[in-house]
Chains A and B, each alone.
Chain A
Amino acid sequence: MKRVIVIGVAVALLALGVIVVRAVVSSSDARGFPARAAAGERPAAPAFDLETLDGTGSVSSADLRGSVAVVNFWASWCDPCKDEAPLIEDLWRTDGEPQGVVFLGIDTQDLREDARAFAETYGLTYPLVYDEGGAVARAWGVGAFPETFVLDPEGRAVAWFPGVVTAEGLRAAIAKAQAGG
C-alpha cells in the first residue's frame, strides 16, 4: 500500500515537473526569437500556415523560402499600426514587388471584420494572412504591435523591428538579407 502511494506521488510530481519545464522552455524559446534576431544570430523563423485575410487561400512559412521576406505583425486596433500601414504599402510597391522581396502582413489578436476594414481603408495590396487565436504571434515572441521581421531566403531572421519601421532601416535589412551577410 505504502509503495503504491509513494509511486503515485512520485509519478504525479514527475508529470507536473515535465509540464512546468516544457512550459518554461517553450515560453523562453518564443521570447528569445526576436532577441536572437536582433543579436544577429539569424534564428530560424517558427513555421506557420495561415489562411489569407480574405479567406481565399493560405500562406505558409515554406512559401517564403527562396526569397527575402518582410513579415509584419499588426492589428487593426493598434494605433502605431495605422501610422505604419501606408509606409509598408509604399515599401512593398517600391522595394518589395519590383525586387522580388515578399511582403507578408500577419493580422493577429484582432476581429477579422475589423482587419478587413483596416486593409481596405489603407489600401493594402501585399499579401495579408489572419492569425486566428494568435498562436503564430506567440510562437514568434511578438509582445507588442507592430513588429516586423526580415527573413533571408533560408527563412532565418536577419532583423527585428519592434514598433514602427523606418524606410531606411527596412531597406538596410532587406539589403543585408539579400547579400546573405
Chain B
Amino acid sequence: MLKIENLHVRVEDKEILKGIDLNVNPGEVHAIMGPNGSGKSTLAQVLAGREDYEVTEGTVSFLGEDLLEMAPEERAREGLFMAFQYPVEIPGVSNTYFLKAALNASRKHRSLPEMDAVEFLKLVREKMKLVKMDESLLGRPVNHGFSGGEKKRNEIFHMAVLEPRLAVLDETDSGLDIDALRIVSEGVNSMRSDERSFVVITHYQRLLSHITPDVVHVLVDGRIVQSGGKELALELESKGYSWLEKTYDSTAAVMA
C-alpha cells in the first residue's frame, strides 16, 4: 500500500526527516509515536503533499505509484486521506456540499459516475451516525465555529464519506476529551478492513488503547529508532520517550 524508503526531508535549512523506511500493507494499522519535534507531523504533511517541505532523498510509493510526483488533490483522489492536526475553518463553504464536490472529484478521477444529491445525502446520514455528529453541523460552513472536538470528529466524518485506501491521522487525538476520543476511535475502528490501511500519528499512548495498532514505530529526531508490536506502546507509556532517546543517543554515539 505505502512504501517509504530512505526518506529525507528538509524545511528551509533544517533537515527534519533523516532517512525513514516504512512499509504499510493493506489492512494494517501503523502507529507512529514520538516526542515533540521528532518529525511526526512532517511525515504526515509530506505524505499529504505540502509544498513547503523539500524531499532531498528517498522515495514514497502509494499503490505502486510515485506519490511524491502527485499534487495533493491527486493523492486524495487516488485514495489518500489526511486528518489534520488543526483542521481549517472555511466560512461560507458548506461542510456538506464541499464534501460532495470532493467526493465527486474522486469518483470522476476513478471513472465512477458522480453522485447525485439524493444518493449523497443518504451516504452522509449513514456516515454521520458513525461519528455521532449532530445533523446541524451538516448545514454549517466547514469547521466554522466548531469546537476542537467537533473539528476532529468532522475530520473523521470526511474520512468516512471519502472512504480512502490509506488514512493518515495526524495527532487526531490531541486535546480530545475521553468521549470525543472514543467517538473518533470507534469511527476509525468501524472503517478498518482488509483493503484499508491507517497511519496513526500520536504523541500519546492513550489513543492506542482504543485503536489497536498492528505495528508501532517510534520516531526520534527524524529517524525510526524502534518498531514493534502494540506492546511497544505500553512500554513507552511506562518508561517515557527519554528511555528511547537515551538508547538512541548512545547508539548514535557508538556509531560515530
Check if A and B associate.
no
